[in-house]
Every structure is written in structure tokens, then in C-alpha cells.
Amino acid sequence: MSIHEVFMPALSSTMTEGKIVSWVKSPGDKVEKGETVVVVESDKADMDVETFYEGFLAYIIVEAGETAPVGSAIAFIAETEAEIEQAKSLANSGGAAATTTSSPEPIAATASAATPALASQNGSNQKEGRLVASPRARKLAKELKVDLTTLQGSGPHGRIVAEDVEALSNQGKQPATAPVAPAAPVPTSAPVTPPAPKTPAPATVVATVPGQVVALTTFQNAVVRNMVATISVPVFRVGYTITTDGLDKLYKQIKSKGVTMTALLAKAVAVTLQKHPLLNASYSEQGIVYHSDINISVAVAMDDGGLITPVLQNADAVDIYSLSRTWKSLVERARAKQLQPQEYNSGTFTLSNLGMFGVDKFDAILPPGQGSILAIGASRPQVVATPDGLFGVRQQMQVNITSDHRIIYGAHAAAFLQDLAKLIETNPQSLTL
């Protein structure tokens, strides 16, 4: 008899437990070596998990929506159909698959949910007969009785997203005849979520009733752990006012080419960090870690709660147009939970921009493993005194930097902000070179 346990994998260095988003295979289904059997939500992303074995998915221990510690068994795979019943008996008895004959590493998290390899050259979202859809799309399709195989995905790399399911469902609805009298609306079993607004909007908040306790998502729990970890770090904050007339003018000139303000700000910070390597460094027990690359993390709120920081790698060396395209791709894949670990855990300096929400100024919390984070407020017209003794109106924004005081001191942060302001105020055009 050859029955193998499927274990909850560790999808990141900080992951202690995982949540089953969906089972791609059902009990009794044939599985091939290297085929995706389950989608697991880690503390940062949804990842497809493949099996190392060929056989049949015999029994599911941890159902979709449930969580399990890393390393615990979540299912059994039997090599033959005849062994399926034996696997069920083994699971019901609470025993381990002592007859496992292969490597103890039964499944592997892969990049298949996030890489372009999912989409073929003709734009299909299938790979060797496999359907690629977001967990939310799968759930919605089941509730609305929509056949996912009839859909062409509009998500990144052809992935089917919830909006695709909603669109097909709405097509099948016929206009209702005029009622004799107004009728009270009857809620459907699965409310249809409207498309995400093009303008910045706060993260979606789960509808609650007074007295209700809503469990934190895996993402939110990860944020909690990171924020608690920063309490022991001694930090200080320095604020600075930067005039943005030149930067705003440049943005208007190149916005049509796909350039974003986020990319411009990240580029400006990265170029300034070239002169201030200490601000790009981090603390360790052995001393100061000076990073060879300047990788700018930018905080992004997730639609279903939580926070993630996609990374613009080598932001000082990449041209602004490529940087903007990369940023757009990172945000799309972050909100679809398709980022690879290197794309969210390799940052050396973080930006948090609430200016888009009209926030004047705020203090940001230092992320673990970094030396500084810059909080950016809104750019607003301000009446200022000009060098010739008159008054004028200038666009200005307030920025606040939070730094690890174990390695960075006030003068270091002030000098960095001074050079950042000089670049933005006097030479923003250099950001396009």
C-alpha cells in the first residue's frame, strides 16, 4: 500500500499557518505529478500548490475555508483507486500515513498562479487542460451556477476574475416585466460586487452588525505580527515641506505615457538614496547591513483587508517609463494575490502615500527589517513668502520619515530629506533621464 500525506507547505518565512482557499481536485479525482491540487492563502498571497505524487486524491482533511498549521496533514493521496478506501479509513482513525514510501515533502508551492506561463500565446488561461481562476471567481461561479470553462479571463495573464463571472451571469438575466405594484427587493444568495473604482478608495470593509466579531484574515494577521514586532525598535521621526510645482508640471507632461506619480516619487527617493546609503541600510545583531540594491517598497491596501508592499527593485537604475509599467503590474497582481515572495519581501526602503486620499500628514510605522519609511501627504496650494519679500502660491506637500534610531540619527534623516526636496524642487526633469 502506498498512501501519501499532503502537508500544509510554508509559503513564506513568516508563515505559521495557511488557509485553504479552494481544492482544485475533489476526492476520487486522478492527480498527476506536478499538478495543482489545492490553492493556499499564505500571509501575503494565494499560491497554487502542486503534488509530487501521481495517484488519486483519496481524502481531504482540511476543507476549503479552514486553516491548518504549517507541516500538518491536509489530505491523503493514494497511488491506486483500490487504496482510496484504505486512505479514508486511515484518516477516520486519525492515523498517519506510515506507509508513505516517497520523500516527506509531498507538495510544493509554485509560481503557477502568478507567472505569465499560465497564459499561452493565444491568450488562453488554460495550461494542459487546467482552468486558472481566482478563488473569489470560483466561489462566485459556484453560487451563481456559472460554468467557468465558458469564460475568457480578463485578469492578469488571462486569469478568470470575479468580474468575468458577474458579467456572464448578468448576460443571462432577462429584463423583468413591469410589476403591477412596486415590490420589495429580494436579496440574492450571492451579492454582485461592483467593479473597483478608478479613483483611490479605502480597503473594502466587511459588513457587520452590532456585537458581531469578524475574524481577521490571514493578511490582517500578518500585518498584526509585523506591527507588534516593530514595538521593540527605537524610532524617531522628522518632517519636511517640499514644493512640488516642478514635479506636478512634469507629471502632467508625461502622464499620458503611462507614468504614475507613485513611480515618480519612488524614483526620486531611490535616486536620493544613492547619496545616503545609511538610509537604505538596516540593523542586524552583527552591525549595519548596507544593501547593494535600492529596492523601494510601496504600501498597498488590499481590497479584502490587510496591507502588502510590492517592491520596485533597483528603482534608482530603471527608467521612469519601465518603472511605471512594473508598478501597474505589481498592483494588479498584488490585489489578485499573485505576487511572488521576492516581489514583496525584498524592499530596502518603504513609501506610504496617503496623499491620494487628501491626508495632509501622518506618521508611518517602520516595517521589520528596514531602516526607514517615508510617509507622503497631499500636495496642496499654500501661500508662501517668496525670496523677493512678496507672497505667492506654491504647491507643497509634507513628508515625514520614520527611522531606526539604532543606526540612523536625526542629522542623517534631515540631510536625506533636504536632498530629496532639492531634487524635486529644482531638477525633477532628471527623473526622466
Enumerate the active-site residues: 405
3-state secondary structure (DSSP) of residue 322: helix
Question: How crowded is residue 429: how many other Cβ atoms within 10 Å of its Cβ?
Answer: 12
Q: E strands, 276-328, where? A: 282-284, 287-289, 296-298, 300-301, 307-308, 311-312
| Residue-level length of the chain | 433
Give the Cα separation of 6 and 37 in Å (integer): 10
Give the Cα separation of 107 and 18 in Å (integer): 14
Residue pair 217/307 in contact (Cβ under 8 Å)? The answer is: no
Identify which of 8, 31, 29, 330 has the alpha carbon closest to the alpha carbon of residue 156: 330
